[in-house]
């Protein structure tokens, strides 16, 4: 199932982060909010965030997810999925209706949360909104960044979890050890392909992430949707949507040799976004009806305010 978004003009492309409001101060040349969102030390299960070895009720489910994911995500598989889902020829639905579908979706790859995904969308967007009140494009990005997870829903094909969620990584080059549960890549058909077994693989250093095949999932899906519909969201938003699950890069610094100058600039916004995406996960529920009017007002700027799935 495929989504089409004709996105709103929200703000403008941030050539660099602005420190013009009283909410921001410069920290090493990069603005951060004063008295802003403080990342908690433990997740809702009492463990450190993204601790894939913690003995929790989620650990076995998460590790089994990554075993299957790492075996099946191959270069050829991703190529086929991008071709199939890039047709953009399905059903019309509003952005908010799409968000509500995620009431029925739990992400098996997430060791930090077992709440419906609509909660995560709103927790992320609201935390960003509090610290960056003038960056409305970033608020909307927070709301829609995981909408591709509707592919897990029975109404839209019910793709397996390993083909929709989880950390993402490049195909066509060696699997970096920064990837979580790296050991399971040994069973991936690409692992022993000599064309894909070197650091650069089929790519050249500095080629730019746009030219790199990334494992298939909700991130790449939403990126394709926005790009093919000539979204008016800034390039930084598209970068965040496509790479927010690319933890080997933005958490561990792997694969940076493939980045170009534009990637380097956009990565700064992704680092900001990731704090809210990861650490806003909580058992504390958002009052949906209270915040809904604000997000509907952003969605109204969409022309038209519909998704085609």
Neighbours of 288 (CB within 10 A): 14
DSSP 296: H
> Which pLDDT tens digit goes with each residue over 126-149?
999 999 999 999 999 999 999 998
Distances (CA, A) of 277 to 25, 49, 122, 127, 240: 21, 12, 10, 9, 10
pTM: 0.82
What is the predicted pLDDT for the residue at 233? 84
Average pLDDT over residues 163-181: 97
Residue 252 annotated as lining a ligand binding site: no
Which has more pLDDT, 21 or 42?
Answer: 42
Residue 146 annotated as lining a ligand binding site: yes
Residue 195 annotated as lining a ligand binding site: no
DSSP 159-181: --GGGTSS---EESS---TTSTT
Residue 281 annotated as lining a ligand binding site: no
Residue 145 annotated as lining a ligand binding site: yes
Give 169's pLDDT tier (boundaries 50, 70, 90): very high
Residue 94 annotated as lining a ligand binding site: no
Average pLDDT over residues 114-120: 74
Neighbours of 159 (CB within 10 A): 21
Q: What is the rounded average pLDDT for all residues in the chain?
A: 82
Can you count the helices (H) and strands (E) in the chain? 10, 6
Backbone angles phi, psi at 50, to 5 degrees: 55, 40
């Amino acid at each position: 199932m495929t989504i089409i978004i004709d996105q709103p003009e929200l703000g403008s492309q941030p050539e660099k982060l602005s420190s013009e409001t009283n909410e921001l101060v410069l920290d090493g040349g990069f603005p951060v909010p004063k008295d802003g969102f403080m990342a908690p030390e433990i997740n809702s299960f009492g463990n450190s965030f993204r601790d894939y070895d913690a003995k929790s009720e989620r650990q076995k489910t998460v590790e089994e997810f990554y075993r299957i994911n790492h075996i099946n995500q191959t270069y050829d598989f991703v190529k086929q999925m991008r071709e199939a889902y890039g047709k953009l020829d399905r059903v019309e639905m509003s952005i908010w209706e799409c968000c509500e579908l995620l009431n029925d979706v739990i992400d098996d790859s997430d060791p930090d949360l077992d709440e419906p995904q609509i909660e995560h969308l709103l927790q992320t967007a609201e935390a960003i909104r509090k610290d960056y009140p003038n960056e409305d494009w970033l608020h909307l990005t927070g709301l829609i960044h995981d909408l591709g997870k509707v592919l897990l829903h029975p109404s839209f094909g019910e793709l397996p979890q390993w083909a929709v969620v989880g950390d993402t990584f490049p195909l066509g080059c060696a699997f970096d050890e920064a990837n979580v549960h790296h050991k399971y890549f040994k069973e991936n058909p690409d692992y022993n392909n000599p064309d894909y077994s070197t650091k650069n693989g089929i790519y050249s250093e500095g080629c730019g992430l746009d030219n790199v095949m990334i494992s298939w999932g909700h991130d790449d899906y939403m990126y394709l949707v926005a790009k093919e519909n000539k979204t008016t969201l800034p390039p930084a938003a598209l970068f965040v949507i496509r790479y927010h699950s690319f933890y080997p890069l933005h958490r561990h610094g792997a694969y940076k040799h493939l980045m170009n100058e534009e990637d380097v600039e956009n990565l700064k916004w992704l680092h900001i976004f990731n704090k809210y995406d990861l650490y806003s996960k909580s058992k504390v529920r958002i009052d949906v009806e209270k915040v809904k009017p604000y997000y509907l007002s952003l969605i109204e700027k969409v022309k038209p305010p519909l998704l085609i799935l």
